[in-house]
Amino acid sequence: MILAKLYKIVYKILANLPFQTNHVHYLPSCHSTNEVARDLLQTEVTEGTVVITDNQFAGKGQAGNQWSSFPGKNLTFSLILRPTFLMPNEQFLITVILSLGIKDALEEILPGEVKIKWPNDIFFNNKKIAGLLIENVLRGNNFDSCVAGIGLNVNQTDFPDSIRATSIKLATNQEVDLNLMLNSLIASFSSLYFQLQDNKVKLLQQYHESLLGLGQERKFIVAEDEFKGIIEGTDEFGRLLIKRGSDILVFQHKEVQMLF
Ligand code: BTN
């Protein structure tokens, strides 16, 4: 309760965006905003609902990892989408627009280029600044809903040495208002989400151009095997294409890791 009082920040979506709602479901503290948002999907929750907390104590990362965030310092939230206009085999497009949305919003305030480390880690100066955990719900052959969990390092300045992490404050020396940053991200997501209806090719191209390591020789590891290769891009399903010698290798998420 004391933590809740100390860290209470007022979150409000200020602009009139084309989502069905601009409702913000604020929890001073919770285990995982993705879990809370998934529970809300059992109700009549509308597209555009944001679940946000200042103190996420069991945050979920990709591949079963944890996502840790210092209370009151960063953004930890989930956005509910209902992309029923997409086919299940187009799920990667959600990754595309959310990654680009974070990149666009960050490039407005960071002194340099933001990159997407395939498939959906956001990097600045070769360090991770944000991560996405996208959980889609399919019904038969149709897309039903999506819980897009976003963790963005904003004002935290200490990170364990074991992770290559940075934050907006480390990159700019400035404290950033969490509600303004949330608004900037949601505006960016909403603009790209509505472009998805008729601009898929352009968005895929933008994603491709933003990939960390694109066209450069990098080291990769697959199972125990380390090799050098060049990222050529992704295919329409979001699989990573790496050129190794004269071969093009195709990898699913989690099959390959880029080394630094
Ligand atoms: C990753 O890079 O491993 C994904 C990180 C995603 C973290 C966010 S924080 C808000 C939302 N709720 C969670 O439990 N996880 C996501």
The residue nearest atom 3 of ligand 1, judged by CA position, is: 61
Ligand 1 centre distance from Cα of residue 98 (Å):
13
DSSP 126-192: TEEEEEEEEEEEEETTEEEEEEEEEEE--S-----TTS-B--HHHHHS----HHHHHHHHHHHHHHH
Mean pLDDT across 20-47: 96
pLDDT for 7 beyond 90: no
pLDDT for 187 beyond 90: yes
If pLDDT is split at 50, 70 and 90, which confidence band does 3 have?
Answer: low
Q: Which atom of ligand 1 is nearest to the CA of 62?
A: 3
pLDDT at 198: 86
| Euclidean distance between CA atoms 32 and 195, whole angstroms | 29
Mean pLDDT across 197-224: 95
Mean pLDDT across 47-67: 96
Mean pLDDT (the chain) is 94
Q: Which atom of ligand 1 is nearest to the CA of 34?
A: 12
Ligand 1 centre distance from Cα of residue 79 (Å):
11
167 lines ligand 1 (CB under 6 A): no
pLDDT at 5: 53
Q: Which atom of ligand 1 is nearest to the CA of 121?
A: 2
pLDDT at 4: 47
pLDDT at 8: 65
pLDDT for 143 beyond 80: yes
Beta carbons within 10 angstroms of residue 162's beta carbon: 6
Mean pLDDT across 168-194: 97
99 lines ligand 1 (CB under 6 A): no
Asked if 232 and 216 touch (Cβ cutoff 8 Å), the reply is: no
Mean pLDDT across 103-114: 97
Mean pLDDT across 6-24: 87
Mean pLDDT across 107-111: 97
pLDDT at 255: 94
If pLDDT is split at 50, 70 and 90, which confidence band does 20 have?
Answer: very high
Residues paired with residue 79 on neighbouring β-strands, in sequence order:
50, 148
pLDDT at 6: 58
Asked if 241 and 249 touch (Cβ cutoff 8 Å), the reply is: yes
Asked if 125 and 171 touch (Cβ cutoff 8 Å), the reply is: yes
Mean pLDDT across 126-145: 95
| Euclidean distance between CA atoms 187 and 195, whole angstroms | 13
Of the candidates 171, 244, 7, 202, which has an alpha carbon nearest to the alpha carbon of residue 96? Answer: 202
| Euclidean distance between CA atoms 98 and 149, whole angstroms | 10
Mean pLDDT across 28-35: 97
pLDDT for 15 beyond 70: yes
Of the candidates 177, 240, 161, 230, which has an alpha carbon nearest to the alpha carbon of residue 169? Answer: 177
The residue nearest atom 15 of ligand 1, judged by CA position, is: 60
Asked if 204 and 238 touch (Cβ cutoff 8 Å), the reply is: no
pLDDT at 29: 96
Phi, psi torsion values for 138, nearest 5 degrees? -105, 145
DSSP state of 89: G
pLDDT for 130 beyond 70: yes
Kind of pairing, strands 217-222 and 50-53?
Answer: unpaired
pLDDT, greater one: 98 or 236: 98
Tracing tokens 């996405």 back to the chain, one arrives at 132
